[in-house]
Every structure is written in structure tokens, then in C-alpha cells.
Amino acid sequence: MSSDVALDPDEEEAAAMSPGDWLADRVATIGGSWGFIIGFGVILFAWMLLNGPMAKITGIAWDKYPYIFLNLMLSCLAAVQAPIIMMSQNRQAKKDRIANRHDYEVNLRTTVEILRLHRKVDRMFNKMGQLQGEVKEVATVAETAVELAAELPAPENGTVGETESSN
């Protein structure tokens, strides 16, 4: 437990991020987005349209029907994109482990603080019990004093605190 304040794992991880890590995250973010899927679908459809039905009309086709060049491009994209996405996932797993460690440390500090407060409350209850006992003793002594004072004869001249010689 390094400090009293928990560190932000995002800030800690961002400070240690290399340009390659940043690029891997960007590729994974873009490659896993709906924008990429839709855009790539449009490109594939346009490729097939231009090299299929439109090629018959215009007579220009750079990649005829089995689309061998398109298959090569897709294979290259998959070969490059898959390891980059895996690097990003590994980094995210590392970031999750750091966050879990921070959560554990915060939970541990909280548990220690709760135990400390629990002991303090227990001491306060014990002290209150002792004080209640002392209050009962004082009350008993006061009651006894009142009873004894009631049993004393009243002064003869009617004033309290004067003795016979002072008359």
C-alpha cells in the first residue's frame, strides 16, 4: 500500500503507454467499430460491383470474378489486424490487473480502517460502562448522604450551620 489515496489505473497505464501501444489501441478501436464494419462492407460491395456487373458494361475490370486480388488484400488485412488487436487485448488485460490490484488495496485499507474504528467504538462503550458504574456509585453515596442527613436532628435555633456556643 503505497499511499493513503488510491491511484487511477488509467492515468498510471497512460503514462507508461508506448506509441506502439497507442497505435494498437487505435487499430482495435477503429477495427471493432460499426463505422469500420459498415465502411468496409461498402468498399467490398463497390469492389464486387465494379468488377462484376459494371465491368461487363464498361469493359474495365482489374480483379475479375473470383476476386483473387480482393482475397489477397483481405488476407493481408486479417494477418496484420489480428495480432495488433491481440496486443491491445493483452494491454487491456494488464490494465485490468492493475485496476484489480488497486481495488484490492483500497478494500484492504478500508477493512483496516473499519477494524480500527470498531476497536475505538468498543473502547468507548467500555468507558461508558465504567462511567455508568461510577455514576451509580455516586448516586448511591448521594442517596445514603441524603438519608443520613434526614436522620440528623434539626438544629434547635432553626438556623443551619450555627453551633450553641455562637449564640
List pLDDT tens digits, range 82-126.
999 999 999 999 999 999 999 999 999 999 999 999 999 999 999
Answer with the residue of higher pLDDT: 101 or 7: 101
The Cα–Cα gap between 159 and 88 comes to 98
C-alpha cell of residue 95? 490494465
pLDDT of residue 150 exceeding 60: yes
Band of residue 167 on the pLDDT scale cut at 50, 70, 90: very low
- Those residues whose C-beta lies under 8 Å from the C-beta of residue 1, and which sit 6 or more positions away, are 105, 108, 109
Start-end of H helices in the chain? 9-15, 19-31, 34-51, 53-58, 68-151
Q: Looking at the whole model, is its pTM more than 0.75? A: no
Asked whether 63 and 69 are in contact (CB, 8 A), the reply is yes
Mean pLDDT of 126-155: 92
Q: Side-chain half-sphere of 84: how many Cα atoms within 13 Å?
A: 20
Task: Give residue 158's pLDDT.
Answer: 59
